[in-house]
Structure 1
Amino acid sequence: MRRREEALVADDPMADEEKDPRFVTALARGLELLRAFRRNESMLGNLELAQRTGLPKPTVSRLTYTLAKLGYLAYDQGTGKYRLGTSVLALGYASLSGMGIRQVARPLMQDLADQTGLAVALGGRDRLSMIYLECCKGTGPITLSLDVGSHIKLSTTGMGRAYLAALPEAERAPLMAKLEEHEGDRWPAIQDGILQAIEDYRTRGFCRSIGAWKSEVHAIGVPFVPRDGSQVLAFNCGGPAFLVDLKRLEEEFAPRLVAMVRRIDATLFNG
């Protein structure tokens, strides 16, 4: 696996797929280049992109030129660097707007955020992380600095653990193997947390992350398994540890989150 600065999405599908005759490596490299850009970053040059992707600089130069021609990158003459273009934005909005669950979930998420004073989010898996697809924040004095597009860890967060807990064993096992490879010496403790989350989901309907992702963050998670067979998603509810009463989080807020997810499911699939 190539070394990258961003650890959250470290899984590298190209490592396995490049031997597949149906796999278009040039296309994959172009998409990997776009993934190198992160939130709150304005521009990157070819050298930085080469370092982040592990691709040769001449290859990067050809890819950035092509992507700029297509509108997926925009070239800045003053700095000689690139930023994401409007075509990427169009793809992102098309993807989000096509997810009917966001329109149904958002008002319910905001109600729960207002009731609890915490943040409530919806996310899906992006390699070895979860990416926020929707986020609502309560009226508390301090909230987490996460929003749509933010990545959080798959293996240690309430949202990530809920996602893993809902997967069939045949899908979860290879993903756990990738997590083990990525986490290294940390894996035994992380695995214990995931296994406990699977049991919590089976017996209580939700998963917990009490300081497991970051010591200052407490959260609960509930998966959303669409009846139409589309991708598993997950919701979370959490906030700064010093503001979160653990008893209320588990005994009051968790049942509300579970009920919210059930209501979303009923609205989407029962009409």
Structure 2
Amino acid sequence: MKRPGKKVATDRSFVVALSRGLDVLRAFRPNDGLLGNQEIAARTNLPKPTVSRLTYTLTKLGYLTPVPRFEKYQLAPSAMSLGYAALANLGVRHLSEPFREEVMRETGGAVAVGGRDRTSMIYFGQSRGMTLGVQLDVGSRIPIATTAMGRAYIWALPPDERAALLRELREHYGSRWPKMRDGMERAGETVAKLGFAISAGEWHDDIHAVGVALKLNDGTGPYAFNCGAPAFRFTEDRLRNDIGPRLVAMVRNIEAALGGAAPQSKKDNKKLKSGGKVARVVEGIR
């Protein structure tokens, strides 16, 4: 987990102590159970003495529950209530459920909706039935750079926000960036041409998926949906000719139901087509 950058750290309105406390809470992941100060320090890149003070404070405030027997902590109901409140306020999660369920039944794939969490996407709605090989649930995080959901999200951002995120990803991945960049270039071209992004074995070798962004007019989002399954079930040909178009139609229907933005026009799509533009954008050059 990255610590605040130089610009943030010198921002007089930015409360570093609060940021660090939230980083401690963010260190807990689905199915983690208990974490000790040393594990939290490793995940947050914070000094262990600082983590000790933060966990003590968060315990006093009711956001962590200490388990003295193991010298560890678990999230307390007060912390979990923040997540539940956020989920309750995400109208797109509830409204999209019947649409997700329908596509899940029709395709046999898992269908999810998520939003950005730094360099990851976090699931806040999931319809997966008995889909083999897909064990993600609400609260799960997946990388932005290599997944269909993440790539769809990237290409739905306004140009300045996309450039900032790409610079962050370039720093995050370091020597692995060229490979990530190539995948995002391909995704940009596919989004421009077909309306959806593809990840075929680029996150997990045996998982194939498509992703489509949801853009609203109320200032929230964008969000993104995906539909994935084991590679033997979702071949690349099926992704392009069946699953992708189905997911695009589903998201457009959800946008209409939410009163959201209309699909991109052909004029908008041309701006992302190959010929150097996508590659320059992925490099963070505007």
Report the TM-score when normalising by structure 2: 0.87
Does 241-250 or 110-119 show the bigger shift?
241-250
Conserved 8 A contact 1:105-1:264? yes
Map 1:58-73 onto structure 2 (within 5 A): 58-73=49-64
- Picking from 37, 42, 48, the partner of 1:46 is 37
Conserved 8 A contact 1:206-1:220? yes
- Picking from 236, 243, 246, the partner of 1:246 is 236
Letter in 2 for 1:160: G
Runs of 4+ residues over 4 Å off in structure 1? none
Helix, strand or coil: the match of 1:219?
A: strand
Conserved 8 A contact 1:118-1:143? no
* Structure 2: 5+ residue stretches without partners: 261-286
Aligned to 2:284: none
Helix, strand or coil: the match of 1:242?
A: coil
Letter in 2 for 1:196: R
Helix, strand or coil: the match of 2:33?
A: coil
Aligned to 2:281: none
1:166 and 1:159 map into 2 onto residues whose CA distance is 11
Letter in 1 for 2:87: L
Helix, strand or coil: the match of 2:123?
A: strand
2:231 and 2:54 map into 1 onto residues whose CA distance is 44
2:103 and 2:109 map into 1 onto residues whose CA distance is 8
Letter in 2 for 1:182: H
1:157 and 1:227 map into 2 onto residues whose CA distance is 25
How big is the shift at 1:186?
A: 2.1
Report Cα offsets for 1:173-230 as digits up to 9, x if no partner: 1111111112222222221211221121111111111111121111100001112121
2:39 and 2:189 map into 1 onto residues whose CA distance is 43
Aligned to 1:104: 95
Aligned to 1:208: 198
Q: Does 1:160 align with 2:125?
A: no
Alpha carbons of structure 1 residues 215 and 104: separation in structure 2 relative to 1, 3 Å = same
Give me the CA root mean square deviation. Answer: 1.5
Report Cα offsets for 1:224-255 as digits up to 9, x if no partner: 11121212100001111122232222111211
Q: Does 1:129 align with 2:115?
A: no
2:138 and 2:43 map into 1 onto residues whose CA distance is 23
2:227 and 2:243 map into 1 onto residues whose CA distance is 8
* Structure 1: 5+ residue stretches without partners: 1-9
Aligned to 2:248: 258
Aligned to 2:179: 189
- Picking from 172, 182, 188, the partner of 1:198 is 188
Equivalenced residue count is 260
Helix, strand or coil: the match of 1:220?
A: strand
2:6 and 2:29 map into 1 onto residues whose CA distance is 22
1:147 and 1:171 map into 2 onto residues whose CA distance is 28
